Amino acid sequence: MRICKGMLVGMLFVLLSTTVWAADVVKLGFFDMQTIIDRSEMGKAGLEKFKIEREKMRQELADKLNELRKLDDEFKKKEQVWSDEIKKAKAQQMMAKKAEYDQLRAEANRRLGEQERELLTPIREKVLEIISRIGKEEGYTMIWEMQMAGLAYAPTSLELTDRIIRELNEISAKEAGGEKKQ
């Protein structure tokens, strides 16, 4: 009996609070940052620069890895005929090359992370400016970023991604036009 009364009181509270809350107009929106980066002119340019740098680093790593594999193949083929001193020297050489490769890989990951932040920060800042302006001018209560908010579903009528891309492209075109005039 107590459980039923508690449930009834809880449901009544929820019903009343929802009614009062619903009296305020709630306008919600969401956007997908990754789509904005992938489809906006600013994002495409940044991604292209990033891909070029990533490919350059990938090639560097591949070259080092091939060098390491050649040493390993040579070691396996000739270890039976080498003296202990030569084996030891070759093993040390392989360990040094492996450490060099690991260090290069860690450095490449660090540099790529930095570059990604450098390329995406201006885009994110501009997107936040656009969202802020839209939110204030059009009376949005909340605007969420789809992945960060963990939205599993929202009606497409609430999505602002395409609008943000259009506005970001306009800003990008204006900035590019201003740079050409100077």
- Secondary structure (DSSP) of 7-45: HHHHHHHHHHHHHHHHTS---EEEE-HHHHHHHSHHHHH
* Residue 167 token pair: 């506005």
- Total-model pTM: 0.67
13 vs 161, higher pLDDT: 161
Q: Which residues lie across from 31 on neighbouring strands?
A: 145
Q: What is the pLDDT of residues 145-182, one digit of tens each?
A: 998 888 888 899 999 999 999 999 999 898 887 665 44
Find tokens 């083929």 and name the residue.
Answer: 77
pLDDT at 129: 96
Tokens of 57: 């680093």
- 131 in Cβ contact with 76 (< 8 Å): no
Contact assessment for residue 61 and residue 39, using Cβ atoms and an 8 Å cutoff:
no
Residue 5 has pLDDT above 50, yes or no: no
Asked whether residue 4 carries a pLDDT value surpassing 50, the answer given is: no
Report how far residue 31's alpha carbon sits from residue 73's, in angstroms, rounded to the nearest whole number: 52
